[in-house]
Chain A
Amino acid sequence: MRSALISGLFALAVFGPITGLVLDGYDFKAHPTRPFILATLVLAGSFVFNIIRGLGPQLSVGMTKRPQLKLSRPQQRSLLAGLLGLAIVLPFIGQSWITSLNFALIYVLLGLGLNIVVGLAGLLDLGFVAFYAVGAYGYALGNHYLGLGFWGAIPFAAVTAGIMGAILGFPVLRMHGDYLAIVTLGFGEIIHLVLVNWVDFTGGPSGMEAPPPTLFGMEFNAWSMTGAPLFHEVLGIEFDPSYGKSFIYFSLLAFVIGACYFCIRLKASPWGRAWEALKEDEIACRSLGINHVTVKLSAFSLGAMIGGVAGVFFAGIQELVNPDSFTFFESAIILAIVVLGGMGSIPGVILAAITLRMLPEVLRDFQEYRILIFGVLMVAMMIWRPSGLVKTKRKSYAKLEV
């Protein structure tokens, strides 16, 4: 009771000036009721919270013991098949969601990429967006200057991003923890700023156009600006903008599944184990003859490659790349995906990417409160599940027959 009152008072002090007195030029307008309403809400909330907590151990026991989802092999298989089936029929059910889904899938890719760097190798990278940008601009610039097509751009961007990853990786080898964080953040900012400033090459703040992907050379447009054959004309059906989006969706889905497989294989490979070991104890690794340079660089490069591919898709969907899409905020969201997913867990990354990317879309009805609520949910999720949504399960090597 008393603690509820105290939190109410604190709420009043916190909300008082900012919500109660609104600046207007050099003057202000008073909204005296707003802080009181908010403080009352907080008071009531903390009162209810205290009651729930006071209800005794029987309730809290039920809350601390989380239901554990343990699935047998065939159950896992059927769950996977079910999810895949759902993913395939999804665009036919919810046309209006498909663009959001495409972005969600891009974030799954980004999450998987960063997961290698942060989740598996434990290298705190706050500038992952740089590789995303390299991929996206790789396509846009490659298309503009070299006439590269979408499908050709994917390997091109992946390799470029991988090399960039190694270039970034090299100087930061000696750095640990937060120093690494700031250097990667700086690297991300540098890339962003170069994209903004080098107008002659990158188009500067207005960005650069990138054509959408084609299927065997067929475009998905209502009419062709380049003279290429059109999908709906070739098939003799009526034009619908959703064809193009569905096509991107399925291509992306294929890439996401491929990336998942890649990550799962990597995780249980010598590299995956070395990353994890290096994350825990670099000195012990060196005493075992593991070259921390190659191990770290491989993590940076492989992560960057996946990020690069995601960038190409982003450019293909947007049909325009622009430096604004590659800011620190983006890096932060990708990092949040990895952490919320449970650091290293692949299903976790997928779940978190879809949650975090779809959330703002779902919250669109809240208008300007959208990002505010998004932030609240982000904090709440971290408090609710500090170690992530999905806990990684270890592979049992001892049970393997050899």
Chain B
Amino acid sequence: MDDILKVDSLGVSFGGIRALDQVSFEVAKGSVTAIIGPNGAGKTTVFNCLTGFYKASDGRIQFQDKNRTHSIEIILGQPFTLQDFVNPISFGRKLFYKMFGGSHQVAALGISRTFQNIRLFKDMTAIENLLVAQHRSLNKNILANLFNTRSFRDSEAQAIKKAKEWLAIVGLTADADRLAGELPYGHQRRLEIARAMCTDAKLICLDEPAAGLNHNETKDLSNLISRLRTNHNVTVCVIEHDMSLVMEVSDHIIVLDHGNVIARGTPTEIRNNPVVLKAYLGEE
């Protein structure tokens, strides 16, 4: 199987704190990969690096898409080196990414995410949240909009159709016109996943999607994650503290502690790994 993502000796520091150190792992295309670890281990930080919100101080992240490899760190803009001043092509490329690069470009590659603290557009309706997610692929010509041309109408209709489809998939059709901020917590979680999917993501990163959900709701969620993979062709990365969910959905688990990968393997391997038991699960 191909790897859609390769992370190679990633390192991040905040002031004196080394949040990530030499983190390396791969994510296989079409898999569900879970990242677990104690609080403050650096899981969210890994996601932030993958999606371009933090710039790693060292290491490489490579995203493989249709035989093309993109380096996230290049998209985020790199400092100029002496060599760039002799090589106009690399200079131009760096300048371009310095000026226009950033996390939105990473998202445009097909990596999207949800957040540990839900970040929906609370004062917009559920369906509007999904329309915003499709912004990139819509007809944005202001004149076309002003004269309501055929192509503009088509583009809007297409977007609404897609949004409705996703609302149906996550079971929120009834809530389409409600404000996102008013929805119960569990619904918000699902809406955020649908929103991330509406960007045509190839890799979706879910940060603690089951937090605040009760037992039954967690079950529904794990169903949804499996369906995302099988029916919608995306690769899923998930951070979660709820072990029942992790064990159920994931193919591969990576365990972080203090910014280091301390274990990796299949759910059964991890469940029985003494290091993980001690550091994370707290079972003797």
A289 within 8 A of B: yes
**Does B146 reach chain A (CB closer than 8 Å)?**
yes
With A286-B107, A400-B160 known to touch, is A270 a contact of B125 (CB < 8 Å)? no
State which residues 85-140 of B face A: CB under 8 Å.
100, 102-105, 107-108, 112-113, 115, 119-125, 127-129, 131-133, 135-136, 138-140
Interface residues of chain B: helix, strand, loop or mixed (majority): helix
Which residues from chain B contact A286 at a C-beta distance below 8 Å? Answer: 52-53, 102-104, 107
Contacts of A273 in B (CB 8 A): 124, 128, 131-132, 135
**In the assembly, what is the distance between CA of A109 and CA of B196, in Å?**
38
> Assuming A398-B164, A400-B160, is B136 touching A289 (CB within 8 A)?
yes
Residue in B closest to A295 when the chains form the complex, CB atoms: B135
Q: Known interface pairs A262-B146, A288-B132, A289-B108. Does A398 touch B138 (Cβ–Cβ under 8 Å)?
A: no
Bound CA span A287–B51, Å: 7
A119→B100 CA distance, assembly (Å): 26
Residues of B within 8 A of A233 (CB): none
A118 to B102, CA, bound (A): 25
Of A2-10, A276-284, A345-353, the segment with at least 4 beta carbons within 8 Å of chain B is A276-284
Whole-angstrom CA separation of A349 from B104 in the bound complex: 33
Give how many A-B residue pairs fall within 8 Å (CB-CB).
Answer: 119
- Number of contacting residues on B, CB 8 A? 46
Q: How far is the CA of A183 from the CA of B283 in the complex (A)?
A: 57
- Which residues of chain A from 364 to 402 have a CB within 8 Å of any chain B CB? 394, 396-400, 402
Complex: chain A residue closest to B176, CB-CB = A398
In the complex, chain A residues 281-301 whose Cβ is within 8 Å of any chain B Cβ: 281, 283-293
Residue pair B125, A281 in contact (C-beta under 8 Å): no
Are A265 and B146 in contact, with the CB atoms below 8 A? yes
Report the Cα distance A397→B167, complex, angstroms: 12
The complex places the Cα of A22 from the Cα of B73 at a distance, in Å, of: 69
Does A266 touch B at the CB level, under 8 Å?
A: yes
**Identity of the chain A residue whose Cβ is nearest the Cβ of B127 in the assembled complex:** A397
- Pair A402/B104 contact, Cβ less than 8 Å: no
The answer, yes or no, to whether A271 is at the interface (CB within 8 Å) is yes
Tell me the bound Cα distance from A269 to B146 in angstroms. Answer: 9
Q: Is the CB of A266 within 8 A of B164?
A: no
Given contacts A271-B142, A292-B104, are A397 and B121 in contact (CB under 8 A)?
Answer: no
B148 A265 Cβ-Cβ under 8 A: yes
Contacts A269-B145, A281-B121; A287 near B135 (Cβ below 8 A):
no
Contacts of A39 in B (CB 8 A): none
> Which of chain A's residues has its CB closest to B163's CB?
A397
Q: How far is the CB of B156 from chain A (nearest CB, A)?
A: 8
Are B128 and A287 interface neighbours, CB within 8 A? no
Q: Is there a chain A Cβ closer than 8 Å to B199's Cβ?
A: yes
Q: Looking at the complex, which one of B102, B103, B120, B142 makes contact with A266 (CB distance below 8 Å)?
A: B142
- Chain A residues with CB under 8 Å of B128's CB are 273, 276, 394, 397
Chain B residues whose C-beta falls within 8 Å of the C-beta of A291 in the assembled complex: 100, 104
Query: Is B157 among interface residues, defined by CB-CB distance under 8 A?
Result: yes
Q: Is the Cβ of B121 less than 8 Å from the Cβ of A394?
A: no
A274 within 8 A of B: yes
User: Among residues 155 to 205 in chain B, which have CB atoms less than 8 Å away from a CB atom of chain A?
Assistant: 157-158, 160-161, 163-164, 176-177, 195-196, 199
A residues contacting the other copy or chain, number (CB 8 A): 31
Given contacts A266-B142, A283-B53, A397-B125, contact A288 B135 (CB under 8 A): yes
The residue of chain A having its C-beta at the shortest distance from the C-beta of B133 within the complex is: A288
* Cα(A276)–Cα(B179), bound, Å: 13
Best-buried of B124, B135, B145, B160 by chain A (most CB within 10 Å): B135
B3 to chain A, nearest CB (A): 23
Contacts of A302 in B (CB 8 A): 142
CA of A274 to CA of B157, assembled, Å: 17
User: For A262, A277, A289, which residue has the most chain B Cβ atoms within 10 angstroms?
Assistant: A289
B residues in contact with A271, CB < 8 Å: 140, 142, 145
Contact of B104 with A290 in the complex, beta carbons under 8 Å: yes
Q: Which of A266, A273, A302 has the most CB of B within 10 A?
A: A273
Given A274-B132, A398-B177, A402-B161: A288 and B195 within 8 A (CB)? yes
Given known contacts A273-B128, A284-B120, A396-B177, A290 and B160 CB-to-CB distance under 8 angstroms: no
* Minimal Cβ-Cβ distance residue in A for B174: A398
Chain A residues with Cβ below 8 Å from B131 are 270, 273, 397
Q: Which of A286, A293, A397 has the most CB of B within 10 A?
A: A397
Q: Which residue of B lies closest to A258 (CB)?
A: B146
Give A287 Cβ to nearest chain B Cβ, in Å: 5
User: Roughly how many angstroms separate A205 CA and B54 CA in the complex, as a whole number?
Assistant: 50
Knowing A273-B128, A283-B53, A402-B164, say if A289 contacts B142 (CB, 8 Å).
no
Q: Which residues of A contact B195 (CB under 8 A)?
A: 288
Q: In the complex the two chains form, what is the Cα distance from A293 to B100 in whole Å? A: 8
Q: Bound complex: CA of A288 vs CA of B139, how far in Å? A: 17
Q: How far is the CA of A302 from the CA of B146 in the complex (A)?
A: 13
A sample of 17 more A-B contacts (CB under 8 A), given A277-B124, A287-B53, A394-B125, is A270-B131, A270-B140, A271-B140, A273-B135, A281-B119, A283-B119, A287-B51, A287-B113, A287-B115, A287-B119, A288-B196, A289-B107, A289-B136, A290-B136, A397-B160, A397-B176, A397-B177
A-B contact pairs, 13 of them (CB 8 A): A265-B145, A270-B135, A270-B139, A273-B132, A274-B132, A276-B132, A284-B120, A285-B104, A287-B53, A287-B103, A288-B132, A289-B107, A394-B128
Give residues in B with beta carbon < 8 Å to A. Answer: 51-53, 100, 102-105, 107-108, 112-113, 115, 119-125, 127-129, 131-133, 135-136, 138-140, 142, 145-146, 148, 157-158, 160-161, 163-164, 176-177, 195-196, 199
List 6 tightest A-B contacts by C-beta distance, closest first: A289-B107, A398-B176, A284-B119, A289-B108, A277-B132, A270-B138
